[in-house]
C-alpha cells in the first residue's frame, strides 16, 4: 500500500489527483483531502468527516496513514519534554520539546541510533539501527498536532538522534514537508540542520533555495583534537569542511561542547576564534553532559563563561548555553534508547558505512534503502 505522508506535497497532490480521477471523483476533492495530511491532520481517513463516507472508506483502504506511537513521555523540572516514539517496525527514536516563552523548539531525530560514535555523545553508543523515512522524520511534528492537547512547534532542529546528512534523501523530503505552506508550513529560518560535516550532502543542502539554518558540530578547532573526539574526521577533514562552508550562503553556527583539558585551552580559544571569524560563524558553547565516553570531564561553568567572553573579545558572536532537560537525560548528546525501556529492547549494533549519505552517490542502509 502507498503512503501519502512519505511524499512531498506536489507528489502527493499528483498521486491523489490521478487516483481520484480514476474513481470518477470531482477534482476539488484533492483540495479537501490534502490538508488532512499535515495542516489539519487525522489519524485515519474515517476521522475526516468533511468527506463522504464512501470516499473515506476508499482512502483508508488505499492510502492508510501510518503513525508513530508515543510510548514514553517525560517532563523535566524546567519544562522540557522528552518523547519516546515507537516506529512501525518496532525500532524507537526520541525527540525533545523545549518551551521557552512563546517559542517551542522541537529537537527531532533523523536516524534510529547513529553510526558516528562521537566521544561525547550517548546516541553513538547505540550504533545505527536504520535510517528514518521522510514521513517518520516529519511525523515527529505531526504527532504533536494530533495530541489531546495539540502543540505546534515554532522551531525545528535536526539535533536529535542520528546524523541528518547521512540520510539525505529522506531528510531532503522531510525539509520540504516541514517548510512547505501546503504541509507543516514552518518557516525555513526556523528550521536548523545540524551536521558533523558530510560534505557531499552539505553541498546538496547548500543548493536548496530555502533559507534553512545550518549548525556544524565542530567541537575542536584543529584536525588532531577533532579526530580524538569525532571519528568522522578521518573521512571529512576539518580544512575541507571549512572550505565547503564558504559556498554556503547562510550564516553558520558552530556547536562546541567544552571538555576540560581537551578543547578548552587558551590555544583552542585563539584558533576557534580565527576559524569562526573566517567562516563568519557564531559559536554555541555547550556543557558536556553525562552519557558519552566516561573519561571526559565537563569544563567548569566559569570556564564556559570565560571562553565565551574570550571569543567575543576576538570579534566572534558566542553564547554559553545552559542545560535543558538534564534530569530526564534530554540534554544535548544524551538521547539514547536503553535496554529495558517499555516496549522491548533496542541493542547497539555495528557501525554503518559513513562514506556517503543516502541519496548522494550511494544507497541508504537498512530497510529504507
Q: Which residues belong to the active site?
A: 94, 332
Q: Is the CB of residue 168 less than 8 Å from the CB of residue 364?
A: no
What the block records as the C-alpha cell of 150 is 495539540
**C-alpha pair distances (Å), 106 with each of 46, 115, 178:** 29, 22, 12
Strands 111-114 and 127-131: antiparallel
Estimate to the nearest angstrom the gap between the alpha carbon of 41 and the chain centroid.
Answer: 21
Buried b (16+ CB within 10 A) or exposed e, 220-246: bbbeebbeebbbbbeebbbeebbebbe
**Would you tell me how many other CB atoms lie within 10 Å of the CB of residue 264?**
21
The single-letter DSSP state of residue 309 is H
**C-alpha pair distances (Å), 197 with each of 215, 237, 241, 306, 342:** 9, 9, 6, 27, 34
Cα-flanking dihedrals φ and ψ of residue 297, to 5°?
-120, 135
H or E stretch including 305? Answer: helix 301-313
What the block records as the C-alpha cell of 221 is 578547532
Dihedral (CA of 7, 52, 152, 74) sign: negative
Whole-number Å distance between alpha carbons of 78 and 210: 33
Amino acid at each position: 500500500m502507498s503512503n501519502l505522508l512519505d511524499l512531498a506535497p506536489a507528489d502527493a497532490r499528483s498521486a491523489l489527483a490521478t487516483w481520484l480521477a480514476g474513481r470518477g471523483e470531482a477534482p476539488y476533492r484533492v483540495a479537501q483531502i490534502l490538508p488532512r495530511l499535515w495542516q489539519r491532520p487525522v489519524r485515519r481517513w474515517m476521522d475526516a468527516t468533511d468527506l463522504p463516507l464512501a470516499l473515506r472508506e476508499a482512502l483508508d483502504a488505499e492510502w492508510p496513514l501510518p503513525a508513530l506511537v508515543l510510548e514514553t513521555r517525560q517532563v523535566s523540572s524546567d519544562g522540557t519534554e522528552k518523547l519516546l516514539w515507537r516506529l512501525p517496525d518496532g525500532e524507537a527514536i526520541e525527540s525533545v520539546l523545549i518551551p521557552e516563552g512563546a517559542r517551542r523548539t522541537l529537537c527531532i531525530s533523523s536516524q534510529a541510533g547513529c553510526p558516528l560514535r562521537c566521544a561525547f555523545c550517548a546516541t553513538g553508543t547505540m550504533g545505527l539501527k536504520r535510517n528514518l523515512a521522510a514521513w517518520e522524520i516529519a511525523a515527529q511534528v505531526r504527532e504533536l498536532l494530533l495530541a489531546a492537547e495539540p502543540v505546534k512547534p515554532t522551531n525545528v532542529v535536526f539535533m536529535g538522534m542520528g546524523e541528518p546528512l547521512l540520510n539525505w534523501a529522506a531528510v531532503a523530503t522531510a525539509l520540504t514537508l516541514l517548510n512547505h505552506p501546503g504541509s507543516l508550513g514552518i518557516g525555513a529560518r526556523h528550521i536548523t540542520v545540524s551536521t558533523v560535516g558530510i560534505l557531499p550532502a552539505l553541498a546538496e543542502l547548500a543548493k536548496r533555495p530555502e533559507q534553512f539554518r545550518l549548525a556544524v558540530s565542530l567541537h575542536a578547532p584543529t584536525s588532531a583534537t577533532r579526530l580524538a573526539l569525532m571519528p568522522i574526521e578521518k573521512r571529512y577533514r576539518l580544512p575541507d569542511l571549512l572550505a565547503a562552508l564558504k559556498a554556503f550562503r547562510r550564516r553558520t553556527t558552530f556547536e562546541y561542547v567544552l571538555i576540560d583539558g581537551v578543547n578548552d585551552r587558551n590555544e583552542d580559544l585563539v584558533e576557534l576564534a580565527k576559524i569562526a571569524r573566517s567562516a563568519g560563524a557564531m559559536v554555541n558553547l555547550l556543557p558536556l553532559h553525562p552519557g558519552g565516553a566516561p573519561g571526559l570531564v565537563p569544563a567548569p561553568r566559569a570556564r564556559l563563561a570565560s571562553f565565551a567572553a574570550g571569543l567575543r573579545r576576538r570579534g566572534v558572536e558566542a553564547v554559553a548555553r545552559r542545560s535543558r532537560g538534564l534530569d530526564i537525560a534530554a540534554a544535548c548528546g544524551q538521547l539514547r534508547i536503553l535496554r529495558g525501556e517499555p516496549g522491548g529492547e533496542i541493542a547497539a549494533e555495528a557501525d554503518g558505512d559513513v562514506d556517503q549519505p543516502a541519496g548522494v552517490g550511494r544507497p541508504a542502509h537498512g530497510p529504507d534503502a
